[in-house]
């Protein structure tokens, strides 16, 4: 039966894709998917932790990654950010850790990677607080604009977006938070959040105490945003080609 199901699935997907890869069982196929997603989770966690270390040492993590990527073998670049999103990478490490318990096993390495990535929005909030404090502005009552709520650039997908966690954490600290995202004129209630907010036009950038780059949509004109903003906390390296004392990269 499994052989017939595999042949049918290959025939279906073979009509759509240029290559199909049959495996011995559904369990193997599912574990393959988990491995691919957890591979990314672990490597993103690595660069997220390296970013924090590099910041403390005064080293540019983005330059480090670009330099390491010149090696022609043995290295694949992954990039830090405010956390991870989508329907797979934030969930799969914890699902596999839970499943492993049924077999009396633990997946400490995988679990740790998931926890590092989950905590990245809190790290960004701390950098926002520090940057505001250096300008004698309290978090409580500060007006903060979050740029981008999609989980990655140029997509209309909110699933598990770290920007939503970022907004909630800023609100918990008393900040007056708004957002802008060309893909989401309104954000209502989701599985883990209930924001009920409308996207704020970028014409109002100058009115905010801080602009936080959470998702670097290609439509954002960062030079103009930096010029008009009082402070920009950039968690995506969107301002890499801009030099300004207003910019705090994290």
- The arrangement of strands across the sheet holding 210-213 comes to 176-180, 143-147, 210-213, 232-234, 247-249
Locate tokens 């930096």: which residue? 226
Locate tokens 């959470």: which residue? 214
CB 250 within 8 A of CB 127: yes
CA–CA gap between residue 95 and residue 34 (Å, rounded): 9
**DSSP per-residue codes, 225-238:** HHHH-S-EEESS-T
Based on the residue annotation, tell me whether 88 is a catalytic residue of this protein.
yes
CB 130 within 8 A of CB 210: no
Q: List the alpha helices (DSSP H) in the chain.
A: 2-14, 26-57, 61-68, 92-101, 108-118, 120-134, 162-172, 222-228
Catalytic residue among 54, 88, 210, 250: 88
What are the structure tokens assigned to 137, written together? 């502005």
Q: Label the pairing between strands 186-189 and 194-198.
A: antiparallel
CA–CA gap between residue 134 and residue 163 (Å, rounded): 23
CA–CA gap between residue 130 and residue 127 (Å, rounded): 5
CB 184 within 8 A of CB 150: yes
Active site residues: 88
């Amino acid at each position: 039966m499994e052989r017939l199901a595999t042949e049918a699935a290959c025939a279906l997907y073979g009509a759509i894709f240029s290559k199909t890869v049959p495996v011995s069982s559904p369990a193997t196929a599912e574990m393959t998917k988990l491995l691919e997603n957890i591979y990314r989770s672990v490597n993103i966690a690595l660069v997220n932790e390296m970013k924090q270390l590099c910041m403390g040492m005064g080293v540019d993590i983005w330059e480090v990654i670009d330099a390491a990527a010149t090696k022609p073998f043995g290295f694949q670049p992954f990039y830090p950010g405010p956390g991870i999103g989508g329907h797979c990478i934030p969930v799969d490490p914890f699902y596999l850790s839970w499943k492993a318990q049924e077999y009396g096993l633990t997946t400490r390495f995988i679990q740790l990677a998931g926890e590092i990535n989950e905590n990245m929005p809190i790290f960004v909030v701390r950098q926002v607080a520090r940057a505001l404090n250096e300008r004698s502005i309290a978090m409580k009552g500060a007006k903060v604009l979050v740029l981008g709520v999609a989980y990655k650039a140029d997509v209309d997908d909110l699933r598990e977006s770290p920007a939503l966690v970022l907004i909630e954490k800023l609100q918990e600290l008393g900040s007056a938070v708004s957002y802008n995202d060309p893909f989401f004129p309104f954000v209502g209630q989701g599985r883990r959040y209930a924001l009920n907010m409308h996207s704020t036009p970028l014409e109002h950038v100058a009115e905010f105490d801080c602009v936080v780059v959470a998702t670097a949509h290609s439509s954002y004109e960062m030079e103009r945003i930096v010029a008009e903003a009082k402070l920009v906390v950039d968690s995506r390296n969107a301002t890499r080609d801009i030099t300004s004392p207003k910019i705090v990269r994290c």
